[in-house]
Amino acid sequence: MGTQDARQKDLAELFAIYLNRGDRVRLVEYLVTHSNLPGPRGNLELAQAFAEEAAVRTGPDQDKVWTLCLNLAGISPAHAPTNSPMEFLPFCGAVGLGAVAAASPQRVDRALTELRRLADDSRWRMREAVAMALQELLRHHPQKTLARLKTWIADEHWLAMRAVAAGIAEPALLEDNPRMAAAALQAHRQILQRVRAAADRRTESFRTLRQALGYSISVVVTATPKAAFALLRGLAAARDPDVQWIVRENLKKQRLVRADPRQAAALARRATPSAAATRRHTPSRGGRASRKG
């Protein structure tokens, strides 16, 4: 039996114990033990398997699994600090909320309400879990999810906007899906408008959003290159150091270069700051771009 099959078998048995006896201790212990934390990468495969196992439950069992996911997702940073094995529990809970709601349309609104709260979590892995959950909801309930996500794009709500950008910038969602690609581009336009209008850029949440935008636009470019390159040209012309940084970070992504090497090269020339401009403008400090944040 392969690792994946063994993992699914273990989870099926542990879910059965929880559902039949109301005992979640063994399931929780299994998740914590196999979390791969502390470490640079949590056990994403196990989290996904947990979500899949949760999503197949129906009727009263689904109610119990939904409650389990809500309880796990609600574990606070004080009880599940960053990079501790316990952090894997709220991570799985958040991903599970998206999976269960994707299979149960009547739970979508509640899931999005919970995910909006979790988008402001101080733990970067929790913010990644929110993005993963949003992707599942966008895949199965695109119209309702997109409508709610529009309300997340609001002044100063930097981490909520980070969740939108990271959630919708998923190649599997955008490929061969012009409507989703157009929605992703529009969401990025609106988020960038708020970035450019921001007065206080020194907050950690603003820098976290900036990091995400440093890669997410390149994903959108591959799905709708003509319109997305037009957006990038406008950004490259802006005399805004944070926007310029976002453009330069996206230009480092090979997927963007492959989409149109000529336009990418032209943008790189426009987005390269002169020495004088570098002295005049110092971007808000945000570290290197990555999905962490």
pLDDT of residue 273: 67
Domain-embedded: residue 110: yes
pLDDT of residue 3: 82
- Whether the bond between 225 and the residue before it is cis, its omega within 30 degrees of 0, is no
pLDDT of residue 278: 46
Domain-embedded: residue 291: no
Euclidean distance between CA atoms 281 and 153, whole angstroms: 27
Amino acid, single-letter form, for residue 181: A
Q: Residue 194 contacts by C-beta under 8 Å, 6 or more apart in sequence?
A: 153, 154, 155, 161
Domain-embedded: residue 15: yes
Domain-embedded: residue 240: no
Domain-embedded: residue 129: yes
Domain-embedded: residue 245: no
Euclidean distance between CA atoms 165 and 188, whole angstroms: 7
For 144-169, b/e burial (b = at least 16 CB within 10 A) is: ebbebbeebbeeebbbbbbbbbbbbb
Domain-embedded: residue 274: no
Domain-embedded: residue 286: no
Per-residue pLDDT of the chain (293 residues; tens, 9 = 90+): 678 888 999 999 999 999 999 999 999 999 999 999 999 999 999 999 999 999 999 999 999 999 999 999 999 999 999 999 999 999 999 999 999 999 999 999 999 999 999 999 999 999 999 999 999 999 999 999 999 999 999 989 999 999 999 999 999 999 999 999 999 999 999 999 999 999 999 999 999 999 999 999 999 999 999 999 999 999 999 999 999 999 999 999 999 999 999 999 999 988 876 544 444 444 554 433 345 55
pLDDT of residue 131: 99
pLDDT of residue 83: 98
Euclidean distance between CA atoms 135 and 140, whole angstroms: 9
Euclidean distance between CA atoms 187 and 130, whole angstroms: 17
Euclidean distance between CA atoms 91 and 30, whole angstroms: 14
Which domain range does residue 137 map to?
3-151
- Helix-helix angle 142-150:158-168, to 10 degrees: 150
pTM summary value = 0.92
Residue 39 region, left (φ>0) first, then alpha (ψ -120 to 50), else beta?
Answer: left
pLDDT of residue 195: 97
pLDDT of residue 275: 42
Q: How many domains does one find in the chain?
A: 1
pLDDT of residue 4: 82
pLDDT of residue 155: 87
